[in-house]
Every structure is written in structure tokens, then in C-alpha cells.
Chain A
Amino acid sequence: MSVDAATVRRIAHLARIAVADDEVEHLQGELNAILAWVEQLQAVDVTGVEPMTSVTPMKMKMRQDEVNDGGKPADIVKNAPLSDDNFFLVPKVVE
């Protein structure tokens, strides 16, 4: 499988990364080189093999469903590029 220029633009948009027009061709080449290299996995017989979803066999830890942290809005917004009155500021999304 390989990607065309339109697919590169679509992936970039899905990944929310702006890609300039003059970068598309180069990126397409790089992505296709990687995809060609991982293509060898298609030859493996994986019939009846379960996908690995847990690295170490372990039971999910459970805890009481209760608030155990919080009450520190100033800490939360401390690193925000833009904030006001402990709210994050974003460009207008609702007209």
C-alpha cells in the first residue's frame, strides 16, 4: 500500500499538523518508504492469533470512585499560553 499526495494532505489534517504544499512530495516519499518497509508484515500468517493488548498479564487495579485530588485551578492553568480567571482561552468556536 502506498499513499498519494491527497492522502498525505488528509493524514496531515487528521493529525492536525499544517503541511505546506512544497512539503507534500517529500513527506509522501518518506511515508511510502516506511510503509513499503513494514509491508513485510502482510506476509505473516496471523490466523487465530490474538492481538496483544496487555504487556504483562495483570488484573486492572480498582479504586474507590471518589475525588482524591483537585481544588487547584491556578496550578492547572499555570502553563497555559492564554488563560483568564482560571479558564483556558481558545479561539471563538461558537458564532
Chain B
Amino acid sequence: MSELTALTLAEARDGLKKKSFSAAELTAAHLAAIEQARALNAYVLETPEQAADMAKASDARLAKGEGGPLEGLPIAIKDMFCTQDVRSTACSHILGEFTPPYESTVSGNLWRDGAVMLGKTNCDEFAMGSSNETSYFGPVISPWRRRGSNTPLTPGGSSGGAATAVAANLCLAATGTDTGGSIRQPAAFTGTVGIKPTYGRCSRWGIIAFASSLDQAGPFARTVRDAAILLRSMAGPDAKDTTCVDMPVPDYEVAVGKSVKGLRIGIPKEYRVDGMPAEIDELWQKGQEWLKAAGAELVEVSLPHTKLALPAYYIVAPAEASSNLARYDGVRYGLRVEGRDITGMYEATRAAGFGKEVRRRVMIGTYVLSAGYYDAYYLRAQKVRTLIKRDFEQAFASGIHAMLTPATPSAAFGLGEKGGDPVEMYLNDVFTVTVNMAGLPGISVPAGLDAQGLPLGLQLIGRPFDEETLFSLGEVIEQAAGRFTPDRWW
């Protein structure tokens, strides 16, 4: 029944409605595919029994002609989401076997709409990374390989497990989180669609916190339409998150296929960075031609503070992380390593529980918030953030509907290739991080393959709460570029 796993979310939804197959069959096909793909390390926890139970309940509802918009559709959940009675660790040793007695709002919204949970996907520890190599459970192996090579590649990060599970047909769609590019970069590396919605569109309640003013949940899918379907269920008001907006959620699927004629698309000139590979530039040109052919108007725009976004991010995000991660003290949950006194216990627990990248960021964050340095670093970074946001506001105020940029500065790299210099790894997020700093929506859509046969993505950046325009434009790119599927080797 391998063909069931190759369906899009929309096709599977329609097939269930027509009773071409049951939710139980659809789920069983995915569980079998997951079992055969353990070499990819995409899932850190499989939940086959729960999946079978949920599928059975979905079949009962479907038989009565009932069921929600995602009824019976098997979905994977990033391990950053707390799932009731199912181990949730953010792929960190410090959370140990933490099993929440509550459900995150976003995952709860999916179950409310009938989705079936297949398991929890691998990610960088606390979502801090761009290659999935900081996970306590080990790296995810991308389903993609360079032509004629067996070198294991990264699927990107931090949502590498989610991207891999979607690209390798180990789920119909998946949830991710994006703090600096953690949805859009892995989507670009794996030939999948990933959208980070506007800050406040999805509730952050029950998502293990990294940097609260930047974190946002979003979907991974194999098509723009599927991403639209999943986001509609994930998003929505939540009284438990005061930063989650009280705005109704539009039917995003309606925007897929809508004409983009007359839309003004900004091409930010600062994204033409030094040393950008010719392939990336060509892809960007191609994207512009596709949008133009569909009736959109291209306008060069300037976002002068672009190059400051990444360094400002590496002050703001670690600062917020150092505060959020203070809760891991060996008392209430997770790992505990005894010390000579209570401080010794805290220090030993956190030394043993945090990986190197997390420790580095917590220490940077602690430093930039410490007395005497707060103004020079943190306050200044928050002011720079205002300037970055203002750049976008001015461009949008001049009549721009969305912007088109590359999603990443390169295709996927090999595991271990960027181990030495943390800053080199951080540069992966150069095109995506501005969007988090400004709180805007951004979507990555597969747009082509590089000379070695690896996927490349284009990013569309939208006005606040205008995800619909991104879905319309994304569909134009998908129709022009086609879809990209890895050859199965696992």
C-alpha cells in the first residue's frame, strides 16, 4: 500500500471522503513506511498504538458522515510540541522522559479537526541549530543525496525530522516551529513547502519555548495546498497565549490558485549577498520570471538593515533562551544530577543536560543580559530590530504586496561539514531570520534542483496576517517549477 503514502494531504482527504480507503489503511501504510525508514532517524518517538486508535475513531466518524477538516489524516508532530501522555523532550537530554499531562494548543487543534498522530519528529536540541546535528537523539539523515554520491546530507534544521518525514512520505504533513528559519530552511533543503506564519497567528502555548518573541509554529507539506490546509487547523485564537491574536482564521485553501495578477512583488536588493552561488541567483531570476508571467509586477525594493538582522538575532534569541531555559533546574521535571548543595545540583544538572550549542547560547544570553552589558548588547539589538521591522513596513506602505527572495544561501550540506565555526552555521539563516525579527509570514517553496541534484527553495515574505497572498504566489511557483521527490534508497 505504498501508494497511499505518496498521496498529498488533499488527495488523501478526498479519498477518505469517497471511501476509496479507510483511515486505518492510510495510517497502517504510514506506520509501515516509518518502520522501514528508521535509518533516516526522522522520528524520535513512534506512536503506532495511538495512531491506530485515532484512525479507528476517525473511520467511525467518517462512516457516519461526520468528521473534521483533517479527519483520518496521519500527521507528524515536532518534538518541540507538548503532547499529552506522550514523551516530549525538545530533543534535549535535560527533559529526559518528560511526559506532559497537557496538550499544546496547536497539536490539540489538529486532533480536534480529526488528524491522526504518527509520532514525534527529531529536531535540533531546543530548536537551536540549522542542521539537526545538535539533537540528543542524533542527526536526521536527509532522504536526498547528491547525484552519484552516498555522502549523508543534512535535511536542515531545526525541524529536520519534520522535513524528512514529509519528503520521504513518512507522513502526509507535519508541524514545525521556526525561530530564525527552522521551518523554511529545512523545507528548502528537502524539496518541501514550509510556512512560518505571522507572529501571533498560531498559539505558542504548550510549545517548548526557545525565544518567545520569535518562535512561531507552522506546517510542512508536499504542496502549497496541503500547507494551506494544515495551517488553517493549526492557527487560531487562544486565551492561554496573550501574544496569540483574536483574529478569525481564513480558509487558506481558497487562496491557492487565486490570480496574482496586479500584485506588486518586491525584490529586496540587499538579498543579493556577496559570494552567493550563481545557481541561487539564477533560481531567484527564474522565480521572478514565473511571477511576472502570472501577471505580477516586480519592483526593486531596499531593506537597508538586512545585514544587521543575523547579528541582532544572535543577541535577542540567546537572551530570551537563557531566560526561558532557566526553568530546567532538576527539580520539577527531567534530568537531575546531584551536587554538593542546591547550586551544585543546578550546575551539575544543566552541565549534563544541555548540549554544546545550547550551553553556548545560554551563556551568550546570560552575558548580554548581565549588569553592565544589557544596554550595549540587548537594548541595542532591540533597537536594531525596530529598524529592521521599519524597513519592511516602509516597503509594504509603498504598495508592495509581498517579497521574493532565495530561501537559503546554498543547497543542503553534508553532516559534519559545518562543525567547527558556530558563526558559519548561523549564516544559513541569513535570508530567513529577518522575517522572524519583523514578525512577518514567510513561505519556502521548492523551485528547482542544483547541479548536484539537490533541492533549492524560494522564499516569499508577506504583510502581517496576509498568509493568503503567500499561498497564491507559492502556488504559481509550484505550478511553474513542479514538485521534487527524492529517489528512495533507505
Contact = CB atoms under 8 A, between A and B. Distances in A.
A67 interface: no
Nearest to A7: B367
B370 A14 contact: yes
Contacts of B10: none
Chain B interface residue number, banded: 35 or more
A17 B356 CA distance: 11
A92 B345 CA distance: 11
User: Which of A15, A30, A50 has the largest count of B CB atoms less than 10 A from its CB?
Assistant: A15
Contact of A16 (B199, B350, B360): B350
A62 to B, nearest CB: 9
A49 to B, nearest CB: 4
Given A37-B423, A44-B384, A49-B386, A61 B239 contact: yes
Given A17-B351, A18-B351, A88-B332, A46 B242 contact: no
Nearest to A39: B311
B341 A33 contact: no
Interface string A1-31: 1010001100111111111000000010011
Contacts of A56: 198-200, 243, 245, 439, 464
Contact of B364 (A34, A42, A52): A34
Interface string B163-180: 000000000000000000
B130 to A, nearest CB: 15
Given A37-B311, A46-B383, A60-B242, A31 B350 contact: no
A40 B315 CA distance: 12
**Chain A contact surface mostly:** loop
Contacts of B326: 16
Interface in A58-95: 58, 60-61, 63, 72, 75, 77-82, 88, 90-93
B334 A79 contact: yes
Interface stretch (B108-116, B273-281, B372-380): B372-380
B199 A15 contact: no
B484 interface: no
A30 B364 CA distance: 10
A7 to B, nearest CB: 8
B382 interface: yes
B380 A17 contact: no
Contacts of B343: 16
Contact of A33 (B348, B377, B422): B422
Interface in B312-368: 312, 314-315, 322, 326, 329-336, 338-339, 341-348, 350-351, 354, 359-360, 362-364, 366-367
A34 B423 contact: yes
B385 interface: yes
B361 to A, nearest CB: 9
B439 to A, nearest CB: 4
Given A12-B363, A19-B351, A52-B389, A93 B342 contact: yes
Contacts of A44: 305, 308, 380, 383-384, 387
Contacts of A14: 366, 370
B380 A46 contact: yes
A13 B472 CA distance: 51
B485 interface: no
Contact of B346 (A16, A27, A31, A61): A16
16 contacts: A8-B363, A11-B366, A15-B363, A17-B351, A31-B367, A35-B367, A38-B377, A41-B311, A49-B383, A49-B387, A51-B379, A51-B385, A55-B200, A56-B200, A79-B99, A91-B341
Closest 8 CB pairs of A and B: A51-B382, A55-B439, A79-B333, A81-B336, A18-B351, A18-B347, A46-B383, A52-B385
Given A27-B363, A79-B332, 8 more contacts: A31-B360, A31-B364, A33-B421, A34-B360, A37-B311, A38-B377, A41-B312, A55-B200
